[in-house]
Amino acid sequence: MPELPDVEIFKRYLDATSLHQRIIGVDVQSAYVLKGVSGRELARRLKGRCFESSCRHGKHLFVRADGDLSLRLHFGMTGSLHYFKAEEQAPRHTRVLFVFANAHSLAFEDQRKFGEIGLIEDVNNFLKKRALGPDALDVSLGQFREIFAKHRGAVKTILLNQKFVAGIGNIYADEILFRARLHPATQISALKAKTVSKLFRAARYILKKAIESKADADLMPKSWLLPHRGKGGECPHCGRELKSATIGGRTAWFCAHCQKRL
Ligand SMILES: [Zn+2]
């Protein structure tokens, strides 16, 4: 499921392939993906324009078309982007195709159909309306501390709440907690200020390093949880078998030895 590092990689891919090219067509192959806009309107408003720049907030990607118009992309569970030449076949799970004047197209692919595409005029308004928290790579230590001081619950549930901090999902929440050596079910009321700072640093480190690794599990350090998570997986730190539990409705993987419950 695409989280902050994955969406950052999509952003860089889009920036490197699809900016500053005239859009000559928008082909909607599955209308389910459209939110608050019809296929006809999407095509009408984008045709003749170019994508000029993009910005990411949490798991959302906004692509500005010239004028005060932005395409909003959310990748759901399986969404991704693919840029290809007109003579090549579109990917199998293409939902919307943006066709450029340079005989290339950008496909929004999404096998599981949880992705979203919309058109918005004001990115900040959208973020406000959704009540999304600061981006996980922009949040300051002060803001992070305030979130932890103001709320109650298991530390993993807090990290996953997009209204507190935007961008962290199931996989990276587990990775961040593993690095901070914190059990995912630890109640945040039990955390000392020093531990909250440690968690903050762990989040920044993991998200940045994941982006450096192109959000590709095969390129991530073997000392991380990600290459080992799953049944029978062993802790890369102590070698004991990893455990799983349902926390905040999601499956957490962790090492019960290295990650103490406070
Ligand atoms: Zn361990």
Burial of 221 (0-12, 13-18, 19+ CB in 10 A): exposed
Q: Specify the pLDDT at position 248.
A: 87
Q: Specify the pLDDT at position 127.
A: 97
87 an active-site residue?
A: no
Residue pLDDT, tens place only, 138-164: 999 999 999 999 999 999 999 999 999
Q: How confident is the model at residue 188 (pLDDT cuts 50, 70, 90)?
A: very high
Indicate the Cα dihedral angle 82, 88, 94, 100, nearest 10°. Answer: 70
Q: Specify the pLDDT at position 65.
A: 97
Q: How far does the centroid of ligand 1 lie from the alpha carbon of residue 225, in Å? A: 10
Residue pLDDT, tens place only, 93-112: 999 999 999 999 999 999 99
Q: For residue 132, which of 180, 106, 165 has the smallest C-alpha distance?
A: 165
Q: Specify the pLDDT at position 260.
A: 87
Question: Quick check: 73 and 63 in contact, CB under 8 A?
Answer: yes
Q: How far does the centroid of ligand 1 lie from the alpha carbon of residue 165, in Å? A: 27
Query: Is 262 a residue whose pLDDT tops 90?
Result: no
Tell me the H-state helices in 90-192. Answer: 123-129, 141-150, 155-160, 170-179
250 an active-site residue?
A: yes
Residue pLDDT, tens place only, 209-237: 999 999 999 999 999 999 999 999 999 99
- Altogether, the residues listed in the chain come to a count of 262
Residue pLDDT, tens place only, 55-67: 999 999 999 998 8
Q: How far does the centroid of ligand 1 lie from the alpha carbon of residue 238, in Å? A: 4
Mean pLDDT of the chain: 97
Taking residues 198-206, report their average pLDDT. 98
Q: Specify the pLDDT at position 135.
A: 98
Q: How far does the centroid of ligand 1 lie from the alpha carbon of residue 1, in Å? A: 25
Query: Is 182 a residue whose pLDDT tops 90?
Result: yes
Catalytic residue among 11, 59, 179, 229: 59
Taking residues 24-37, report their average pLDDT. 97
Q: Specify the pLDDT at position 104.
A: 98
59 an active-site residue?
A: yes
Taking residues 174-199, report their average pLDDT. 97
Rounded-to-integer distance, Cα 128 and Cα 28, Å: 28
Name 180's Cβ contacts closer than 8 Å, sequence gap at least 6.
Answer: 195, 198, 199, 202
91 an active-site residue?
A: no
